Amino acid sequence: MKQVPAANWAESFHYRFEDCVYPQCLDAVSEIVARVSSIKTLGSRHSFNAIADGRHALSLAELPVDPVIEANGTQVTVGGHCTYGELALFLQRHQRAIHNLASLPHISISGAIATATHGSGDRNGSLATVVSGLEIVTGDGSVVRAARGDADFDGMVVHLGALGIVTRVTLDVQSAFEVAQCVYEGLAWDSLLDNLDDIMASAYSVSVFTQWAETAGTIWLKRTISDDAWPAELHGASRATIKRHPIIGLDPQNATDQLGEYGLWSDRLAHFKMGFTPSSGAEIQSEFHIPRKHGAAAIGALLSIRDRFAHLVQAGEFRTVAADSLWLSPQYRNDTLSIHFTWIRDQDAVDEAVRHIEQALSPFMALPHWGKVFTPRHVGASYEKLPDFARLRNSMDPERKFSNPWLEEVVFAESKG
Ligand SMILES: Cc1cc2nc3c(=O)[nH]c(=O)nc-3n(C[C@H](O)[C@H](O)[C@H](O)COP(=O)(O)OP(=O)(O)OC[C@H]3O[C@@H](n4cnc5c(N)ncnc54)[C@H](O)[C@@H]3O)c2cc1C
C-alpha cells in the first residue's frame, strides 16, 4: 500500500487526498492522466495553503531525476521533482551553478517554480526566471515540450499546478561561483526605512530579518567574490562575531555558514542547510510582494499596526526580487520588496493577523506569495495576463483535471478565458 500524503511539510495544512499514485516512467504518467478525471501533483509539500490539495494525488517520487548538462554547459535538464539540494550536488560535480536559491534547498523544482519561489537580490529574478524548457503531461495525457521563446512559454513557467504535470525542467546554469555570508546586528527601524534601497543593494543577495520588535533586526549579506573587507558596521548595525540562526534562539548549526568565509554558492545562498531541519518546522508562513517604490511605506504601515501581529512572528524577512516577464509571477514587470512572516503554528490567530496585514498593505498593490497563507479571494484579478493564462489552461487542460477549489476561487474566479 503506497503512502497517501496527509499534510504539508509543516503539518499546518491537512490534505483531503483519498489515494496517491506513484508512476515510474513518463508513459505511466501519461496513461494515468488520460484515464482519470481529476489529479493533483505533489511536490515536496512545502506550501502552506490548499494550492496542492485534491482527492487524488500523484507523486513523481519514483521517477528517476536523471540530470543532464546540455547546450555546451549552459543548461541542465532534470526531473521536475528533483530538489534544489539534489541538483546542487550534481552541478557541483560539473562546476556549474544556478543563479540563486530560496531559503531552503529541500523544495522540488516543479513546486518552486509553480509558485514563483524566490531568494533575494536586486538583480536576481525568482527561481522560475532561469527555466528555459519544460516537459508537461497535459490533460489528455499527451506530452508537451516547450522552450523559452515559444508562444505562451512565459505563461507556463509559474504554472500553479494548473496546466499539467511538469515531468522535466530545463534551467540555465553558469560557472560555479563562491559566496560568503555575514550578519549585521542591531539595525534600527529609522536606519532601515531611510536606507532601504542602499541596504538591499549592498550585496549579491540581502535579507533583513526582523522580529517586528523595538529594533528592526539583522542584515544578512551574501556576497560573491569581492576584494573588499567586510565593514565593521553597516548603517549602524555591527558585524556579528558568532554564527546566527534567522530565528532567534534556534541552533545556528542548521543555518548556512557565515562569518565572511567563502564557500560554494550552494552552501551559502540558502539560509538553511540540506540535511538539517530548515526554519523551525512548527510554523506557518505568509509573504507579500510590494512594488519597490512602495517598499519603505509598506514597512512603515505594518510597523504602525505591529501590535496586531508581532506576538505571532517567529521571524520576519525583507528580500528583493527582480522583475520578469512570467505571466503569473508577482514580479511580472515589477521589481519587488518581499515581506515575509514565519508565524507560530496557530492557524486561526495567523488568519486574523493576516487580515490586518492585508488591510494595512492594501494601498501598496501587495500580491501574496502563491504558496503561503493569505485570505482566500480572487487574487488572479490583479494579474493583467490572467485572461491569457486562462486561455492557456483551456488548451492544456480543457477538462479541468488539474483544478481544485483553491485554483477556481483564488486564480480563475470570474476569468472567462
Ligand atoms: C521552510 C520553508 C521555507 C520556504 N522558503 C521560501 C523562500 O525562501 N522563498 C519562497 O518564495 N518560498 C519559500 N517557501 C515556499 C515554497 O518554496 C513554495 O511553497 C513552493 O511552492 C514549495 O514547493 P513544493 O515542491 O513543496 O510544492 P508543493 O507545495 O508540493 O506544491 C505547490 C504547487 O505546485 C504543484 N506542483 C508541484 N509539483 C508539480 C509537478 N511536478 N507538476 C505540476 N504541478 C506540480 C502542486 O500541485 C501545487 O499546485 C518556503 C516554504 C517552507 C516550508
Identify whether 258 is part of a domain.
Answer: yes
9 lines ligand 1 (CB under 6 A): yes
124 lines ligand 1 (CB under 6 A): no
Task: Tell how far CA 306 is from the center of its chain.
Answer: 25
Identify whether 136 is part of a domain.
Answer: yes
| Cα-to-centroid distance, 214 and ligand 1 (Å) | 33
| Cα-to-centroid distance, 49 and ligand 1 (Å) | 10
Query: In the predicted model, what is the mean pLDDT of the chain?
Result: 95
Number of domain units in the chain? 2
Q: Are residues 163 and 254 in the same domain?
A: no
Do 50 and 13 contact (CB within 8 A), yes or no? yes
CA distance 46 to 132: 24
Structural Rg of the chain based on CA atoms: 21
Q: Are residues 209 and 167 in the same domain?
A: no
Q: Is 318 exposed, middle or buried (0-12, 13-18, 19+ CB in 10 A)?
A: buried
Identify whether 272 is part of a domain.
Answer: yes
CA distance 358 to 322: 22
Atom 12, ligand 1: residue with shortest CA distance: 117
| Cα-to-centroid distance, 65 and ligand 1 (Å) | 17
278 lines ligand 1 (CB under 6 A): yes
Give the residue from 85, 76, 70 showing the smallest Cα distance to 169.
Answer: 76
Q: Are residues 76 and 189 in the same domain?
A: no
Q: Are residues 160 and 206 in the same domain?
A: no
Let me know the angle formed at the C-alpha of 154 by 152 and 160, rounded to the nearest 5 degrees: 100
Residue 416 clears pLDDT 70, i.e. is over it? no
- The stretch 63-84 carries a mean pLDDT of 97
Q: Are residues 73 and 217 in the same domain?
A: no
| Cα-to-centroid distance, 82 and ligand 1 (Å) | 12
Give residue for cell 543577495.
205
CA distance 303 to 348: 22
What are 210's strand-pairing partners? 316
Identify whether 143 is part of a domain.
Answer: yes
The per-residue pLDDT for range 42-73, each reduced to its tens digit, is: 999 999 999 999 999 999 999 999 999 999 99
Residues ≥6 apart with Cβ < 8 Å to 28: none
Identify whether 2 is part of a domain.
Answer: no
Q: Are residues 214 and 192 in the same domain?
A: yes
- Compute φ and ψ for 284, nearest 5 degrees: -135, 150
Identify whether 284 is part of a domain.
Answer: yes
* Amino acid at site 90: F
Q: Are residues 254 and 145 in the same domain?
A: no
Ranges 59-63, 267-271, 405-409: which has the least confidence:
267-271
| Cα-to-centroid distance, 106 and ligand 1 (Å) | 10
Q: Can you give the pLDDT at residue 201?
A: 96
pTM beyond 0.85:
yes
Q: Can you give the pLDDT at residue 251?
A: 82
Q: Can you give the pLDDT at residue 242?
A: 85
Q: Are residues 215 and 78 in the same domain?
A: no
Q: Is 16 exposed, middle or buried (0-12, 13-18, 19+ CB in 10 A)?
A: exposed
Q: Can you give the pLDDT at residue 274?
A: 72
Give residue for cell 508513459.
27
Q: Are residues 218 and 267 in the same domain?
A: yes
210 lines ligand 1 (CB under 6 A): no
60 lines ligand 1 (CB under 6 A): yes
- Compute φ and ψ for 347, nearest 5 degrees: -60, -45
Residue 415 clears pLDDT 70, i.e. is over it? no
Identify whether 411 is part of a domain.
Answer: no
Which of helix, strand or coil describes residue 308? helix
Residue 168 clears pLDDT 70, i.e. is over it? yes
- The stretch 381-391 carries a mean pLDDT of 98
Q: Are residues 187 and 170 in the same domain?
A: no
Listing from the earlier edge strand, what are the strands of the sheet with 40-42?
A: 19-21, 56-59, 40-42
Q: Are residues 352 and 312 in the same domain?
A: yes
Choose the final residue of a domain: 175, 207, 232. Answer: 175
Query: Which CATH number is 92's domain given?
Result: 3.30.465.10
Domain residues for 232? 178-368
Do 58 and 41 contact (CB within 8 A), yes or no? yes
411 lines ligand 1 (CB under 6 A): no
| Cα-to-centroid distance, 51 and ligand 1 (Å) | 9
Identify whether 409 is part of a domain.
Answer: no
**Atom of ligand 1 lying closest to residue 278 CA:** 1
Choose the final residue of a domain: 175, 208, 241. Answer: 175
Decide which of 129 and 281 is more confident. Answer: 129
Q: Can you give the pLDDT at residue 220?
A: 95
| Cα-to-centroid distance, 372 and ligand 1 (Å) | 9
Q: Are residues 188 and 326 in the same domain?
A: yes
Q: Can you give the pLDDT at residue 155?
A: 98
Choose the final residue of a domain: 154, 175, 196. Answer: 175
Query: Which CATH number is 209's domain given?
Result: 3.30.70.2520
